């Protein structure tokens, strides 16, 4: 009986030792697992911290990038506005250039007309009249001045000549062109001459009595302009059209 108890106790002790060893081994393994888990947690925390740092850095970079994008957009808009402004300036310059060319062409025309007029005025002071007799144009102008009441000093008559019209009509005498020293004298002669209704007989010109018309000598361009003004005046039902200072 005692032997049985002894064996039982020994077996019980062996079982207890075995269980304790198993528990110790399991605890050791568990401790290793806990250590690994703690290390893994630390790694995760470290990685999380690094990720947070990266996120902050990325946000900072994003803000900087957005600022650069905004700056680029402003630059692009500024350049677009500048291009629009330059395009408008170019368009305005093109219009101004066209107007300048038109003005230059008009100036050339006026110069040509003035040269044509100067050429006419530089002709001889004495010509044969329509009756084949010699005439003194200066005496003729002085007689007209006396009849209409305008004192014309001979020295104020700069140039005189007769000019044939482009359209020649039978019986119509050639036109006399007179260049005076002052505009005031010219205007007085024209004004008084229109009111006096002078004729060739009034200044002792032989032959049939003809009315003498005194008016501005116009360049071809101004003649065309006057013709168009008269046509427009008829359409607009204006009563008078006149020329002042050629």
**How does residue 171 score in pLDDT terms, banded at 50, 70 and 90?**
low
Compute the chain's Rg from CA coordinates: 59
Instruction: Specify the pLDDT at position 125.
Output: 34
Q: For helices 137-148 and 183-196, what crossing angle results, to 10°? A: 70
Instruction: Specify the pLDDT at position 117.
Output: 63
Q: Which two tokens stand for residue 236?
A: 């607009």
**How does residue 2 score in pLDDT terms, banded at 50, 70 and 90?**
low
> pLDDT exceeding 90 applies to what percent of the chain?
6
Query: Nearest to residue 178, comparing CAs of 156, 196, 193, 198?
Result: 156
**Which residues have a Cβ under 8 Å from the Cβ of 186 and sit 6 or more positions away?**
180
Q: How far apart are CA 212 and CA 175, in angstroms?
A: 10
Instruction: Specify the pLDDT at position 47.
Output: 86
Residue-wise pLDDT tens digits, 104-154: 888 888 788 777 666 554 433 333 344 445 578 898 899 999 999 999 999
Instruction: Specify the pLDDT at position 216.
Output: 82
Q: What is the model's pTM?
A: 0.48
Please tell me whether residue 163 adopts helix, strand or coil conformation.
strand
Instruction: Tell me 211's DSSP state.
Output: B
Q: Decide if 206 contacts 131 (C-beta within 8 A).
A: yes
Q: How far apart are CA 135 and CA 124, in angstroms?
A: 12
Q: How far apart are CA 169 and CA 155, in angstroms?
A: 34
Residue-wise pLDDT tens digits, 55-113: 989 898 988 888 888 888 888 888 888 888 888 889 888 888 888 888 888 888 878 87
> pLDDT exceeding 70 applies to what percent of the chain?
87
């Amino acid at each position: 009986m005692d032997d049985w108890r002894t064996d039982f106790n020994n077996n019980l002790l062996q079982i207890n030792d075995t269980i304790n060893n198993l528990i110790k081994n399991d605890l050791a393994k568990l401790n290793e697992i806990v250590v690994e888990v703690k290390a893994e947690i630390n790694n995760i925390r470290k990685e999380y911290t690094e990720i947070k740092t990266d996120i902050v850095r990325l946000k900072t970079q994003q803000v900087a990038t957005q600022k650069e994008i905004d700056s680029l957009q402003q630059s692009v808009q500024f350049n677009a506005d500048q291009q629009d402004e330059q395009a408008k300036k170019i368009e305005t310059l093109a219009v101004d250039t066209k107007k300048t060319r038109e003005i230059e062409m008009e100036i050339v025309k006026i110069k040509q007309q003035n040269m044509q007029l100067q050429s006419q005025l530089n002709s001889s002071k004495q010509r044969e009249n329509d009756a084949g007799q010699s005439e003194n144009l200066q005496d003729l102008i002085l007689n007209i001045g006396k009849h209409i009441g305008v004192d014309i000093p001979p020295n104020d008559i700069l140039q005189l000549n007769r000019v044939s019209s482009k359209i020649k009509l039978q019986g119509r005498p050639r036109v006399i062109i007179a260049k005076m020293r002052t505009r005031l004298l010219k205007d007085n002669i024209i004004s008084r001459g229109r009111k006096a209704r002078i004729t060739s007989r009034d200044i002792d010109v032989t032959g049939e009595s003809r009315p003498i018309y005194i008016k501005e000598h116009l360049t071809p361009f101004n003649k065309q302009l006057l013709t168009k003004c008269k046509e427009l005046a008829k359409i607009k039902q204006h009563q008078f059209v006149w020329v002042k200072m050629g």
